[in-house]
Amino acid sequence: MTQFSRSAAQYPLLWIQTTSFSRKSSTLDGFYSHTLLHTAVFPQNPEMGYLSKASKILRQSNYLSLSRNFNFNPITGRITNERFSMTRAVLCSHSRQNSTAREKNSIDLSEYPPELVRNFSIIAHVDHGKSTLADRLLELTGTIKKGHGQPQYLDKLQVERERGITVKAQTATMFYKHSVNGDDNSDGKESPNFLLNLIDTPGHVDFTYEVSRSLAACQGVLLVVDAAQGVQAQTVANFYLAFESNLTIVPVINKIDQPTADPDRVKAQLKSMFDLDPSDALLTSAKTGEGLEQILPAVIERIPAPPGRSDSPLRMLLLDSYYDEYRGVICHVAVVDGVLRKGDKISAAATGQSYEALDIGIMHPELTPTGILLTGQVGYVVSGMRSTKEARVGDTIYHTRNAVEPLPGFKPAKHMVFSGLYPADGSDFEALNHAIERLTCNDASVSITKETSTALGLGFRCGFLGLLHMDVFHQRLEQEYGAHVISTVPTVPYIFEFSDGSKLEVQNPATLPSNPKQRVTACWEPTVIATIIIPSEYVGPVITLVSERRGHQLEYSFIDSQRIFMKYRLPLREIVVDFYNELKSITSGYASFDYEDSDYQQADLVKLDILLNGQPVDAMATIVHNTKAYRVGRELAEKLKNVIDRQMFEISIQAAIGSKIIARETISAMRKNVLAKCYGGDVTRKRKLLEKQKEGKKRMKRVGSVDIPQEAFHQLLKVS
């Protein structure tokens, strides 16, 4: 496509003919629908400036009908070059304006009964090309204009773009003309226009629940696999999510333009791992455009229409939400049954709150009001919710007057990883508070409670869905809100049982008494089932690593001759810090890793305290497995010795389990610091030096009289 566009810039007329006749007739029906024509390519050619004038005049007319009347048949309908180029330019140009024109004529969603609607999602391992493929589909259908708008169109957050991940669900509605097989097109009846909803879901395990809710709104998925890398851990996890939801799976082997691409091997993997028919796989390159034209026809032909009932009371699935400064909370929804009209009174099942549907519409790709959403359709609702906390992912929304059975599968957010967040500079608590408040407006899945640490002052205990979620939250706090934070070592929710039968869930190790009055009789920790896929030569080191992390092997098999598939049960605690990096480094980056939450299991856990001059540092307390306590204690003490500066007195660093000291280091007292003379000319210089020294102290955290540099807390994150 890019090549065409280039030649078109030079030879606009010639290009039209080229596009008209270079395509294989097998795909002509679908290919030359109006949507494709107007989006295929629009040459950015200054020589065609006069045409945009024409487009302005023509824009007033109904674009849709115009395009329909212009029933171009490349084989029979020869039009003069001049006239054609002009009309085409009108059609091709300004796809955004076209959509504006369409909005002005307000899209009539009633033209799209469920049988003309397809709801699908794209699932893939990270970097297998999901976002680029989504971009191409949006371009192909004219939803966005090629070369305009940023790449990874649906990934709106900076963190998503930087990391190439999706953390929030997005939807996009596309229109696509296609004649379904068997439909006789020769009688002059035009091909029906389909409404396609692409529901972009997060790919990571932390968001498994969000993904499952997004998938619940779909009837099928494109399972995208990199042609060179083949099936990876996230591919497996995502496949099973889709498979268990009974979705139609359309395998797409992407990036076939790569020199190392081996689609046949991938087909074989798909067959052996998932029992997917090799002949069903579509071969594409989202980069070069090769094979893309098969995708939407396959979506329409293979994925069933949404099954909802139009005549039933309204049931809507809440997919995700975000906060807009001007409009408040905007919810992405899928209408499962019934119809939603603007002005309807609606209620949310999980919260019991009622709202009015102030504005509804579709994402095309931006908010496009339609006044109505019908069965099977996907769009947005603005309802005056004040906070995204009211918009629970997976909740059912219904007409207030007509209570319904909620849709299955709703679960409140489950927080698996906890960490304390403190302002790096103690005086910045208000700033951090503000930043967190604003960020949680857009990420309601974080649980926030205030906590106080003697070392770090006022801060927050935050619960996250998982590691990536935590990381993303930190990154967004820093990037979007400029907050500087100290984070305590992430921990998982443990359960301790005491001799009196009472149980305590511990989200912050400091809250577990070091010398409890009641004896601890049992402890449980959350575990995960981890999927690891590695080239076979790395099996040795990986098994060693996983055993060190108290992993228990559940499955071991070959995907093909070169790659191993392993399943392990691992304590969540063991993968919270640094597991993935370690795995990557021992496998030169070839390992892929994914996990799903599993049950709590009993374990021999102890609380490890760090004491500075006999005073426990609450923010440094951790819960570790008994067998590892000594090693971890020694490592922590050593690390701290290296990062805490000498002070005017001796400092003892101790690691302790209860009242038993298991490791000790000493930092000897400072003997002397700079003793410059101080005469008239030196006063200013000396002052500056001392003020700098004072500023340095101010940034330190203090326990008893010991100053702890922030670096110490960052270092602790590196010991597991």
The CA distance from 580 to 223, in Å, is: 24
The CA distance from 323 to 246, in Å, is: 32
Name residue 504's beta-bridge partners: 496
Residue stretches of the annotated binding site for GTP? 124-131, 200-204, 254-257
For another protein, which is the closer residue by CB, 423 or 633? 423
Min CB(665)–another protein separation in Å: 19
663 backbone dihedrals φ, ψ, rounded to 5°: -155, 150
User: What is the SS3 string spanning 437-500?
Assistant: HHHHHHCCCCEEEEEEECCCEEEEEEEECCHHHHHHHHHHHHHHHCCCEEECCCECCEEEEECC
């519409």: which residue's tokens? 361
Min CB(652)–another protein separation in Å: 15
For another protein, which is the closer residue by CB, 253 or 706? 706
The reply to whether 614 sits near another protein by the rule CB under 8 A is no
Min CB(698)–another protein separation in Å: 6
78 backbone dihedrals φ, ψ, rounded to 5°: -85, 125
CA-atom Rg of the chain in angstroms = 30
The reply to whether 666 sits near another protein by the rule CB under 8 A is no
Nearest Cα residue to 355 out of 308, 307, 321: 321
| Residue 458: exposure state from Cβ atoms within 10 A (0-12, 13-18, ≥19) | middle
DSSP H helices, 11-94, are 12-22, 28-31, 34-39, 49-59, 63-69, 81-92
For another protein, which is the closer residue by CB, 257 or 645? 645
What would the x/- binding string for another protein be over residues 125 to 164, using CB under 8 A?
----------------------------------------
180: Cβ contacts below 8 Å, ≥ 6 apart: 192, 300, 301
Min CB(691)–another protein separation in Å: 6
For another protein, which is the closer residue by CB, 21 or 649? 649
For another protein, which is the closer residue by CB, 105 or 452? 452
The reply to whether 672 sits near another protein by the rule CB under 8 A is yes
The reply to whether 62 sits near another protein by the rule CB under 8 A is no
Min CB(697)–another protein separation in Å: 6
Residue stretches of the annotated binding site? 124-131, 200-204, 254-257
Helix (H) or strand (E) holding 197, with range, is strand 193-200
The CA distance from 593 to 628, in Å, is: 24
Q: 95-104 vs 49-59: helix axis angle to the nearest 10?
A: 10
Q: How many residues does the chain have?
A: 720
The reply to whether 649 sits near another protein by the rule CB under 8 A is yes
Nearest Cα residue to 119 out of 252, 283, 308, 278: 308
620 backbone dihedrals φ, ψ, rounded to 5°: -105, 0
Answer for the pair 313, 339: CB distance below 8 angstroms, yes or no: no
Min CB(689)–another protein separation in Å: 7
Structure tokens at 406: 């909620």
**Residue among 670, 699, 714, 718 that touches another protein (CB under 8 A):** 670
For another protein, which is the closer residue by CB, 554 or 683? 683
For another protein, which is the closer residue by CB, 660 or 677? 677
Q: How far is CA 261 from CA 136, 159, 227, in A?
A: 20, 29, 5
For another protein, which is the closer residue by CB, 78 or 687? 687
For another protein, which is the closer residue by CB, 264 or 430? 430
How many binding residues for another protein (CB under 8 A)? 27
**Residue among 259, 372, 671, 719 that touches another protein (CB under 8 A):** 671
Min CB(94)–another protein separation in Å: 53
Min CB(646)–another protein separation in Å: 9
Min CB(670)–another protein separation in Å: 6
The CA distance from 686 to 678, in Å, is: 7
Q: Which window, 239-247, 380-388, 441-449, 641-649, contacts another protein (CB under 8 A)?
A: 641-649
For another protein, which is the closer residue by CB, 312 or 613? 613
Under rule CB under 8 A, which residues in 674-703 are in contact with another protein?
674-681, 683-684, 686-687, 689-691, 693-694, 697-698
For another protein, which is the closer residue by CB, 660 or 694? 694
Min CB(432)–another protein separation in Å: 17
**DSSP-derived 3-state class of residue 178:** coil
Min CB(158)–another protein separation in Å: 32
Nearest Cα residue to 466 out of 495, 486, 446: 446
Residues that bind another protein (CB under 8 A): 647-649, 670-681, 683-684, 686-687, 689-691, 693-694, 697-698, 705
